[in-house]
Amino acid sequence: MSVASKVIRPEIQGMHAYAVSDATGLVKLDVMESPYRLPSELASEIGDVVSRVAMNRYPVPTAHELRALIREVMQVPKGCDVLLGNGSDECIQYITAAIAREGAVVMAPAPSFAMFAMHAFFYRLRFVGMPLREDFSLDTEVFLAAVAKEQPALIWLAYPNNPTGNAFPVADIERIIRAAPGLVVIDEAYQPFAGATFMPRLAEFENMVVMRTVSKIGMAGLRLGYVCGRPEWIGAFNKTRSPFNINVLTEAVVIKLLQNKKVLDAQAARVLEERERVRPELARMSGLTVYPSAANFLLVRVAGGKGAGTRVFDSMKSQGVLVKDFSGGPPLMENCLRLTIGTPEENRILVAALREALK
């Protein structure tokens, strides 16, 4: 027996590392990135900004300039504080760490974002995934009954949900927040495509915080997520944070981009337009169910028995288009593919490849 196999937790030895597909040479529509690069003028301004960064220095641990800008640009309510993470993935880790009392329960709908369960697992917390209905709608009564029974310290609600794309009804989310004995995190990773937000309502609910990311609006490579909420929550999460988690390049570049947010907003608007244009095209294809989406992707289900979805995925890949295949993954997702919306040209290629694959 090697030292590593004696020392590493057996459940870690038994798991697989998070897998990301190699997209070399493919139209990349698998992980909800923005398809747009920056206009060249703004890109070279960013080059100037980067050239002035003092890379020999540690970041300012409070990142106060970036946090102040986020408050302003994202309309964070007065009296609320902001926590930054190296992607919202890291915010999920910090929040989980802060509530990880012995025996604490973490709850979320299932399927939802994989990291909610993952960090609960790392911190040895019990994760309760409450199955959505077959059409991915939320069974609120069943969810509320589970809240009453399990008394979760932490509930994650992605609004809109990933990988399903739908936004649960606001009234149902309100009922869950009111019934929850602990914290409810509204994960608004797709807010720019959803229109609706819980951000202005932070003062209304003592036990709610709002988490967002800049990943889906053109800055996935920079790794920045943030959590907004009352100081009593944010102050606690901040204690679990690595002091220099936001690197100087990310801070400088995100500041420059948020000062030019109009550019990003225009890109998001184009993606949204494309989603609405592509959706009816897919809906007309036989052998395909298209689910409602308030995000920058469309979830579809391929008709047929086991393996039908993966066959379509493989065919699309061989035609040069990478999407995400959920078969064999989370519950209810057999034969489901998640299609990120790209540029009009990429979407044309996507639709043609899907049509061919379904033949």
Ligand X SMILES: *Cc1c(COP(=O)(O)O)cnc(C)c1O
Binding site for ligand X (CB under 6 A): 32, 87-89, 113, 158, 162, 187, 189, 213, 215, 220, 225
Q: Please say whether the beta carbons of 85 and 222 come within 8 A.
A: no
Report, in Å, the least distance between residue 241 CB and ligand X. 15
Cα–Cα distance, 349 to 249 (Å, whole number): 35
Between residues 32 and 95, which has the closer beta carbon with respect to ligand X? 32
Between residues 158 and 322, which has the closer beta carbon with respect to ligand X? 158
Give SS3 for 135.
coil
Nearest residue to ligand X by CB is 87
Report, in Å, the least distance between residue 92 CB and ligand X. 7
User: Could you tell me which residues come within 8 angstroms of residue 240 by beta carbon, excluding any fewer than 6 positions away?
Assistant: 93, 94, 97, 98
Residue from 25, 50, 59 nearest 241 by CA? 59
User: Could you tell me which residues come within 8 angstroms of residue 193 by beta carbon, excluding any fewer than 6 positions away?
Assistant: 160, 216, 268, 271, 272, 275, 294, 295, 296
Report, in Å, the least distance between residue 102 CB and ligand X. 27
Report, in Å, the least distance between residue 1 CB and ligand X. 36
Q: Can you say whether residue 320 is alpha, beta or left, with left for phi > 0 and alpha for psi between -120 and 50 degrees? A: left
Q: Please say whether the beta carbons of 341 and 347 come within 8 A.
A: yes
Report, in Å, the least distance between residue 160 CB and ligand X. 8
Between residues 173 and 353, which has the closer beta carbon with respect to ligand X? 173
Report, in Å, the least distance between residue 213 CB and ligand X. 3
Cα–Cα distance, 133 to 126 (Å, whole number): 22
Helices and strands in the chain, H and E counts: 14, 13
Between residues 229 and 358, which has the closer beta carbon with respect to ligand X? 229
Amino acid in the structure at residue 250: T
Between residues 59 and 109, which has the closer beta carbon with respect to ligand X? 109
Between residues 247 and 315, which has the closer beta carbon with respect to ligand X? 247
Judge if the upstream peptide bond of residue 243 is cis by omega within 30 degrees of 0. no
Between residues 106 and 358, which has the closer beta carbon with respect to ligand X? 106
Between residues 97 and 220, which has the closer beta carbon with respect to ligand X? 220
Report, in Å, the least distance between residue 324 CB and ligand X. 11
Determine the Cα angle at 18 with ends 13 and 235, to 5°. 95
Report, in Å, the least distance between residue 122 CB and ligand X. 15
Q: Which residue has the tokens 């739908």?
A: 166
User: Could you tell me which residues come within 8 angstroms of residue 98 by beta carbon, excluding any fewer than 6 positions away?
Assistant: 236, 237, 239, 240
Between residues 250 and 358, which has the closer beta carbon with respect to ligand X? 250
Cα–Cα distance, 140 to 169 (Å, whole number): 10
Report, in Å, the least distance between residue 218 CB and ligand X. 12
